[in-house]
Amino acid sequence: MGMRRISVLLLTLLAIMPGAIPTWAAQPVRARHGMVVSRETHATQAGLKVLESGGNAIDAAVAVGFALAVTHSSAGNLGGGGFMLVRLADGRTAFIDFRERAPESATHDMYLDANGKLTRDSLTGYRASGVPGTVAGLEYAAKHFGKQPWAELVQPAIELAAKGFPLSYAQANGLRGGGLNAFPESKRIFQRDGNFYEPGDVFVQPDLAKTLARIAQSGSQDFYHGETARLLAADMQAHNGTITLADLEAYKAIERKPLTGHYRGYDIVTAPPPSSGGVGILQMLGVLEGTGFEKGGAGSAEVVHYMTEAMRRFFADRNQWMGDPDFVKVPVAGMLNPEYIKKLRASIDPVRSTPSSEVKPGVFTGPESFETTHFTVADDEGNIASMTYTLNGGYGSKVTATGLGFLLNNEMDDFTAKPGEANMFGLVQGEANAIAPRKTPLSSMTPTIVLKDGKPFLALGSPGGATIINSVLEVMVNVIDFNMNVQDAVNWPRFHHQNLPDDVRVEPGYSPDTVAILEKNGYTVRRVGAQGEVAAIRFNNGWLEGAADPRTEGTAAGR
């Protein structure tokens, strides 16, 4: 029985026998010389082949990123953006911010109608897109941290687009919906003008292959200054879109300093703003440390209680204070101040839920020193790439750029279109994340690397909108506090709280007794389906242990 079948069986057993801890463990994929964990098997294999040909983890991550733009249409992308966290064998770290940015024409109230009500323009259509960053980000990573020729890293994606690949059941089924039929170019490419693809059909994308070939030859110059840029800008102009050629020409990937912190003897390297995720991970771990929450055991009401209360308090701060650090002062130091974290910890009742209406964001003064995908790559030299990128919603804005073959993002919805009203992920955010020209929307993407005694211990990340941060937190806690192997940690049922709405969402697998205790103690418990899609690698005595998520078609492969 293969690793995927074992992983799926474990999750099924947890759903059938709620609360039961299996007496056997699901096993990760193990290898000595390299590991790739991603959402889709062709992309995973593209990265593995780069490792086998002498490329390092960053080279492989670039190849995976381009391949997913072909094989994972709902999230893999050229028309979106994201983050890559890099740790090199010599200990250096870097965070590459290639998040989408608001176009120059963006305005504070651009998604409000004449009556001040939200429109759907931030979700669907040409006006929903921020300036894409993926091509610039992948090129930056390859130039600064890779070692193989650029064209060789793009070539696997070109071949997948030009020759095609057989669609899985989930891929074919996904292309039938998603609102793609509302836009002729999307309907033509992804739905064969209504003659829907069936599982096993070979999906060929000639327009995308031509775009990728230009990128292989000219790099980001083509996408932001060349033929692709001109075609994209013309398509935007023809459809009352907001992105201009000048917006594309002005785009640059930004290298930022990763956030670092500590938890129970481990060092954490994670995402800084404009991601909210790294701050969240460090604040929540700080709140949990010293509570003794882990004594309740994985899956217990006590563990869910303490972790939920930490989540609730962080999201109150997030929604009030966090935004693009190039535009607003984000009080990172205040949110991670040990005295403030101590105050948050002390405010948690040992048993009962704290209503979100009673949880107020902190007050900080003084100077400061949904549809997404994540993949993780490690090589035998000790280099690590942990990358999350996105179109935001599934299939982004549903718009395919005419003649270019790639979908555009709907990332503008990650801004606060109207303070006090929820976005597509239910997040109620504040003025710090309001729309402004050239501004980056606040993100939850949280690529993270954990070190023990200065050596890599765990690398991971997740898609899933606001659930990203909590999915990453839970897998980390499962490995560090509950001593699970990395596959069990990824498989374990998850839960989520984001302050508003005031409910704790739980996957199948929690016992009726646990749920009853939570409800008795004041929680509104809402049953949900799968949460997140963690791709993780653990470093264990010379072995690379890859864990794909059985909630998806994720795969892990090593050499």
Q: Is the dihedral of CA 101, 104, 105, 106 positive or negative?
A: positive
Helix (H) or strand (E) holding 188: helix 184-191
DSSP secondary structure of 499-545 = SSS--EEE-TT--HHHHHHHHHTT--EEE-S-----EEEEEETTEEE
Beta carbons of 228 and 214 less than 8 angstroms apart: yes
Of the CA atoms within 13 Å of residue 219, those in its CB half-sphere come to 11
- Other C-beta atoms within 10 Å of 453: how many? 8
Token pair in block for residue 358: 């009673």
SS3 66: helix
Beta bridge partners of 86: 94, 385
CB 37 within 8 A of CB 44: yes
CA pair distance 495, 214, nearest whole angstrom: 43
Residue 372 annotated as catalytic: yes
CA distance 47 to 34: 10
Q: Which of 134, 211, 372, 376 is catalytic?
A: 372
Which residues, in sequence order, are bridge partners of residue 385? 86, 377
Maximum C-alpha span of the chain: 62
Q: How far apart are CA 320 and CA 430, in angstroms?
A: 5
Q: Which of 182, 503, 482, 230 is nearest to 355 (CA)?
A: 503
For residues 324 and 274, the answer to whether their CB atoms sit within 8 Å is yes
Q: Which residues are catalytic?
A: 372
